[in-house]
Amino acid sequence: MSTLLRYTLMLASTGLAFAGSALAGKSDPPQPRCVESLSELPLLKAHIKGERSAKSLPFARNARCLRFSDGHEEPVMVYAVTLPSPVQITVEVDNRRKTILAARIEALDEHRELVAAYPFDAFTRRGGHYSLTLFGNDPDRPIRYLLVRIDGEAIGRTDTRMVSSMAFFPLPGGSYNHSYESRLISEMGDTGWIEVEQSALTEE
Amino acid sequence: MLLKRILLLCVIVSLNACVSLPQKAFNKGAHDIKTIEVLPMANTEAQVSYPHPGLNFGLIGATVALAELNAKGNTLQKQLDAAQFDQYESFRVSFDKAMTERGYTLIWSDPVAAGKKDKTKRGAWNLRKSAQATDRADAQLDVNLVFYGYAASGAGKNSPYRPTISLAAQLFDASGKKKLFSDVVMYHNMGGIGSKAITIEPDPAFSYPKFDDVEAAGASVADGLDAAIRASAEAMARQL
């Protein structure tokens, strides 16, 4: 192997290593100490419909370690639901970089007790994302928090979507558009983006 | 008729750019609904769609494209007639079963679908613009096939024709004044990543590289559509 070729390969591999570490830095969950109680976790505010635009958050960067009563530990996110009942809460899981967060949602009351749980199978597949809509109707036991966990049952599943892609060929005075079928294959895992939105129900 | 064809092309080829999607989640816990009257479905004939190259060449090209798509749609309809396939009955059986499993009793109109000369005012998704009051049920469902047929994502043989369904629904209360739910299911959604419709991937068992293959399949093209309608009906029922 020539010296030039060897140097070129070294540079390329160094570049890949840097790119890999940068990606790892973005997607690997931080590892602060594990807390014993939900009340010790930082609260994320569920976006209120109509206020600014909703924001998707990467689970890996926003999740914190929670030690459950049986001793096992796992990364979770906690959203605060600030609107009174009746309220509609919509959870959307994006499909980015061929990754879909296999989320499990637990609605909690003001004492952080479970009101209802929604496995990933409760989500509805809509185009490029998955969504879950739930309602808090009970004024005596309003939903105050949303716990986002990982649904182990859904991890590793794949999502294949057939979509129509388009190629543009420039022509004098315009372009020729050629459509064709293509496939997008994504995997469900413990990284990915999630967005939670709350909206008040006034007509129910 | 031409406008209707153009609208259908918009729906199937570039959904988001043409019409907004009716979408209102059903708050089941806030309503005590046991019996639902299903309003007569819109009359829908089989269609064939794909991004015809003629659409690149102005009005004349579009006219040629629409004429060809229309002819192919008529061919498909004849095949389905030969198979004695009833799309409304296929939907009724599947949807009724799925809704019964969810605790509802459905009251169907007879016949299930309106005739070709139906004057009901409908919007872009074949959904009624309004509903009348009813004393036969707790709520009334307006559910319609918007697109029903075979569609391809492109013009080449690597973009096969697949069974394609768009199903839109809206639920009114008994007074007909309050809309409780609306949504759209797309089986073989070619609308791209931005679509918010409920999407179902087509069964690969029903795939035809060219329209000649669709024609050669004869009456068996009904099997693909039956599977598509069944899956779409079940997906819609899950929202209720």
Q: Which residues of A128-153 are buried (b: 16+ CB within 10 A; e: fewer)?
A: bbbbbbbbbbeeeebbbbbbbbbbee
**Count of domains forming chain A:** 1
Distance from A120 to chain B by nearest Cα, in Å?
Answer: 14
Q: Which domain holds residue A173?
A: 32-200
Top pLDDT among B219 and B233 is at B233
CA angle B203, B96, B202 (to 5 degrees): 10
Q: Furthest-apart CA pair in chain B: how many Å?
A: 54
CB spacing of A179 vs B153 below 8 angstroms: yes
Please say if the pLDDT value at position B182 is more than 80: yes
Chain A, window 176-195: residues with a beta carbon less than 8 angstroms from a chain B beta carbon: 176-182, 184
Distance CA B124, CA B120 (A): 13
Distance from B201 to chain A by nearest Cα, in Å?
Answer: 6
Q: What would the mean pLDDT of B47-54 be, rounded to a whole number?
A: 81
Q: Is A57 exposed, middle or buried (0-12, 13-18, 19+ CB in 10 A)?
A: middle
B59 touches chain A (CB under 8 A): no
By Cβ distance, the residue of B25, B51, B193 closest to A163 is: B193
By Cβ distance, the residue of B162, B178, B193 closest to A127 is: B193
Q: What would the mean pLDDT of B136-141 be, rounded to a whole number?
A: 96
A125 touches chain B (CB under 8 A): yes
Please say if the pLDDT value at position B97 is more than 70: yes
Top pLDDT among B107 and B125 is at B107
CB spacing of B56 vs A177 below 8 angstroms: yes
User: Is A39 a domain residue?
Assistant: yes
User: Is A56 a domain residue?
Assistant: yes
User: Is A25 a domain residue?
Assistant: no
CB spacing of B27 vs A161 below 8 angstroms: no
By Cβ distance, the residue of B50, B158, B198 closest to A126 is: B198
Structure confidence at residue B154 (pLDDT): 80
CB spacing of B27 vs A177 below 8 angstroms: no
Tokens of residue A92, six digits: 């959307």
Distance from A132 to chain B by nearest Cα, in Å?
Answer: 10
Q: What would the mean pLDDT of B87-97 be, rounded to a whole number?
A: 97
ipTM: 0.84
Q: Looking up tokens 């080829």, which residue turns up?
A: B13
Structure confidence at residue A54 (pLDDT): 73
Structure confidence at residue A33 (pLDDT): 81
User: Is A6 a domain residue?
Assistant: no
Structure confidence at residue A31 (pLDDT): 58
Name the pTM for this structure. 0.84
- Among B147, B126, B113, B112, which Cα is nearest to B225's? B147
Please say if the pLDDT value at position B130 is more than 60: yes
Dump pLDDT digits (tens) for B78-87: 999 999 999 9
The HSE-up count of residue A185 (CA atoms within 13 Å, CB side) is 3
Structure confidence at residue A32 (pLDDT): 62
Tokens of residue A186, six digits: 């994504």
Chain B, window 142-181: residues with a beta carbon less than 8 angstroms from a chain A beta carbon: 152-156, 158-160, 162, 178
Structure confidence at residue A20 (pLDDT): 37
Q: List chain A residues with CB under 8 Å of B153.
A: 162-165, 179-182
Top pLDDT among B18 and A2 is at B18
φ, ψ of residue A102 to 5 degrees: the values are: -80, 80
User: Is A26 a domain residue?
Assistant: no
CB spacing of B159 vs A176 below 8 angstroms: no
Q: List chain A residues with CB under 8 Å of B53.
A: 176, 178
Distance from B43 to chain A by nearest Cα, in Å?
Answer: 26
Number of A/B CB contacts below 8 angstroms equals: 100
Structure confidence at residue B191 (pLDDT): 65
Q: Which residues, other chains included, contact A136 with Cβ-Cβ below 8 Å and sequence gap of 6+?
A: A81, A85, A86, A87, A89, A107, A115, A142, A143
By Cβ distance, the residue of A175, A180, A201 closest to B158 is: A180
User: Is A14 a domain residue?
Assistant: no
Structure confidence at residue B15 (pLDDT): 42
Question: Could you tell me which chain B residue has the CA closest to the CA of A173?
Answer: B57
Tens of pLDDT along chain A (204 residues) come to: 444 444 443 434 434 333 433 344 455 555 568 999 999 999 999 999 888 777 899 999 999 999 998 989 999 999 999 999 999 999 999 888 889 999 999 999 999 999 999 999 999 999 889 999 999 999 999 999 999 999 999 999 999 888 777 666 766 666 667 777 888 899 999 999 999 999 998 755
CA A36, A113, A122, A54 dihedral sign is negative
Tokens of residue A144, six digits: 């105050």
CB spacing of A161 vs B199 below 8 angstroms: yes
CB spacing of A203 vs B239 below 8 angstroms: no
Top pLDDT among B209 and B51 is at B209
CB spacing of A162 vs B51 below 8 angstroms: no
Q: Which of A139-143, B17-21, B25-29, B117-121 has the least mean pLDDT?
A: B17-21
Q: Which residues, other chains included, contact B198 with Cβ-Cβ below 8 Å and sequence gap of 6+?
A: A124, A125, A126, B183, B184, B185, B186, B235, B236, B239
The 8 Å CB, 24+ separation contacts for B194-197 are B194/A127, B194/A128, B194/B16, B195/A126, B195/A127, B195/A128, B195/B15, B195/B16, B195/B21, B196/A126, B196/A127, B196/A131, B196/B21, B196/B23, B197/A126, B197/A127, B197/B15, B197/B21, B197/B166
Contact call for residues B139 and B180 (beta carbons, < 8 A): yes
Please say if the pLDDT value at position B56 is more than 80: no
Structure confidence at residue A15 (pLDDT): 41
CB spacing of B154 vs A124 below 8 angstroms: no
Contact call for residues B188 and B212 (beta carbons, < 8 A): no
Please say if the pLDDT value at position B162 is more than 50: yes
Structure confidence at residue B168 (pLDDT): 96
Please say if the pLDDT value at position B10 is more than 70: no
The HSE-up count of residue A58 (CA atoms within 13 Å, CB side) is 13
CB spacing of B27 vs A178 below 8 angstroms: no
Rounded mean pLDDT of chain B? 88
The C-alpha torsion from B109 through B110 and B111 to B115, rounded to 10°, is -70
User: Is A10 a domain residue?
Assistant: no
User: Is A11 a domain residue?
Assistant: no
Q: What would the mean pLDDT of B87-109 be, rounded to a whole number?
A: 97
Q: Which of A100-104, B21-25, B86-90, B169-173 has the least mean pLDDT?
A: B21-25
